[in-house]
Structure 1
Amino acid sequence: MKNMNQLITIAFFVLSTNFFAQDKQDQQNEIVAVWITADETKIEIYKEGNVYLGNPINSKGERNTKIEVLNLEYTNGKWVGKIYSKKRGKLLDVECLVEGDNLLLEVTTRFISTELEWNRAKS
Structure 2
Amino acid sequence: MKQGNIVSKECSQTILAINDTMEILSGKWKVSIIACLCFHPMRYSELLKEVLGISGKMLSRELKELEVNGLIERNVLATSPVAVEYKITEYGTSLKNLTQTIADWGLNHRERIIRGMEKEKG
TM-score of Structure 1 vs Structure 2, range by shorter chain: 0.3 to 0.5
TM-score between both structures, scaled by the size of structure 1: 0.35
Bigger strand fraction: 1
Bigger helix fraction: 2
TM-score between both structures, scaled by the size of structure 2: 0.36
Q: Which has the higher contact order (CA 8 A, sep 6+)?
A: 2
